[in-house]
Structure formats: C-alpha cells, structure tokens
Amino acid sequence: MINITLKQLRYFDALVRAGHFGRASADCAISQPALSVQIREMEAAIGGALVERSARQIHLTALGAAFAPRVREILRAVDALDQLSRAARGPLSGPLRLGVIPTVAPYLLPAMVGALSDAFPGLELFPREAVTGKLVTDLIEARLDAAVVALPVSEPALTEMPLFDEAFVLVRPAAEAGLPVPSAETLPEMRLLLLEEGHCFRDQALTFCKLGPAGARTVMEGSSLSTLVQMVGAGIGVTLLPEIALPVETRSAQVDRVRLRAPAPGRRIGMVWRRSTPLDGPLRDVAAVLARLGAESLAQARALLP
C-alpha cells in the first residue's frame, strides 16, 4: 500500500496547477524547500518521479501526468465529505473559502469579515481575490466553496444568487464639473480609462460604450480602479466606477462624480457555488448577510452623488 498523505496530495495538486515550485509554495503558504521535500517524499513512497525539475518551471513525467487527474478526484471527494459533515452539524462553521472579484473585494470584504463572524461564530473565513474566470475554475474544481462575482456566470454546474444591483458612475477631472454628461458614444472620444484585460468590469464598460476588440485598443488601461481614479485626477482621461467603489476610491482624489444618462450601465453582483455542494442552505444564509452589506454600502455610495 502506498503511504502518502492528504497534505502531500494537496501540495502535488498545487504544483501541477502552478507549474512552478515558487508559485505553488506561495499558494500553499509554505517555503519552497518544504514543498520540494514533501514532493520528493511522495515520489519515494510511489517509487517513481512525478515531475521533472528545472530553474523556470516543472514538467510532469508520464507517471505525474497520470497521477494528476486522479489526485484531483481524490481531493474533490475529500472536500465533499468535509462539506457533508459540516452541513450535518447545523449552522455553518469551520473554514469557508470565499472568492471575490477585485472590483468588489476592497469595498465589501472588510465589512464582510466582521458580519460573517457575527452571524456564524464558528466560521473561519479564507477570502481569495481573483478575476471571474479564475474563481469559476477554482469553484468547479472544489478549491473554493463560493465566490462573489458579477452575474450571470452562466455555468450549469453553479448556483447563482443575486446580492445587489449597482450602476456605473462617470468619474472625470474636477475641472469638468458642471459640464454636460457625455453619452455612451462620446465617452471613447474623452480618452476612456479602463481596467486591463481579464476583468469582467472592463468588458461591461466596453459593451456600454459599444467598443469591440478593435476599439478596445484605443482606450488606456490600468491595473486597478484606484490607479484609474488617480489617472483621472491627473487629467489624463475619464473612467467608469461601480457605485460601491465610490467612497473608497474618490475620497481623496480631485475628481467629479456624475450619474450617466438613462439607461445607465450597471451590473448585478451575486454569489455562486456548486450545485452539488451539501452546503447549499448555509451558503444561502451567507449570501443573505452579504446582500445586506451590499445594500448598506450602496446607500453610503449614493449619498456622494448629486
């Protein structure tokens, strides 16, 4: 019988996903030498090499490639047993791996930690910030329990529960306060600043402005909403912000905040989780707490608008 541990299986799975010992060790919150030792011990127990090591990346051996999908199946089954046990204990407790997209996390996550702790005293929250595509993949592969994303995700394996709807707000240099509100067609002419590719918020803004892939190359990009607002304050262009971001991102910037003409663009934020999880009921309770937080945050944001 092969004597390998569940921890080693998780480390191997992380290494396969990352393709690099450094990134995998960071994902597992252990040192790179410690991860390497665990993988070598696993290989010794199996009796064969799982990976070919190089300075830049790792390559799976034939044995490693055969092991990888089976290891993932084992980890999914173990996680399913854990969720079944937690569901049987009643109120949600233990670790909750919750993903949040970057255009929501900075504005909702701080309050989320306290609110969920109050509502579920035995809960231990492990938040993870990532773009939607990454969160959906991690959800389906059972590396997350739930995620807060922009809806719809349209993934048959996931349950979607709306949390709140918010509009997009135009943010422009303070010197432009009082000028007419531009239309969707004229926004690109004003040097539109958007998030870099990979963010769903970018795609939603491009859709509103009726810009296809070719037009998208004409806009300026930033890595975060904070960067975009600072660029606007410097007079470089204009940008769109989700309402929930207004209190944090515009509190110290020299910018003008204005509602766009109707029908204004917007998005629906919701929580998603696997349809197969035994935690469906408790996760709906979590979603109810987040919906309340979202409503409170939006009320504060809308008070800043004329």
pLDDT(212) > 60:
no
- Give the rounded distance of the alpha carbon of 120 from its chain centre: 22
Which residues pair with residue 129 across a beta bridge?
100
Weakest mean pLDDT among 66-70, 205-209, 244-248? 205-209
Q: How confident is the model at residue 91 (pLDDT cuts 50, 70, 90)?
A: low
β-pairing verdict for 123-129 and 94-100:
parallel
Q: Hey, which residues does 127 pair with through a beta bridge?
A: 98
**pLDDT exceeds 50 at position 216:** no
Mean per-residue pLDDT of the chain: 86
pLDDT tens per residue across span 20-74:
888 888 888 888 888 889 989 888 888 888 888 876 778 888 888 888 888 888 8
Pair of tokens at residue 302: 């809308």
Task: Indicate the pTM of the whole model.
Answer: 0.75
Q: How many CA atoms lie within 13 A of 94 on its CB side?
A: 16
Question: Could you give the angle at the alpha carbon of 197 between the alpha carbons of 191 and 203, nearest 5°?
Answer: 75
Q: Give the C-alpha distances (Å, rounded to integers) separating 150 from 103, 132, 184, 266.
A: 9, 8, 21, 10
Residue 269 parent element (H or E):
strand 266-274
Q: Of 81, 82, 108, whose CA–CA distance to 96 is shortest? A: 82
Residue-level pLDDT at 77: 78
What domains does the chain contain, in order, with CATH numbers? 6-85 (1.10.10.10), 103-306 (3.40.190.290)
pLDDT for the residue 265: 86
Q: Residue 18's pLDDT is what?
A: 83
The pLDDT tens digits for 147-184 are 999 999 989 999 999 999 999 999 999 999 888 888 77
Supply 22's token pair. Answer: 């450094």
Give kind and range of the element (H or E) at residue 64.
helix 62-88
Among 123, 105, 97, which Cα is nearest to 10's?
97
pLDDT of residue 217: 44
pLDDT digits (tens, 9 = 90+) for 93-109: 688 999 999 999 999 99
Task: Quote the pLDDT of residue 83.
Answer: 67
Tokens of 46: 């199996």
Supply the pLDDT for residue 201.
79
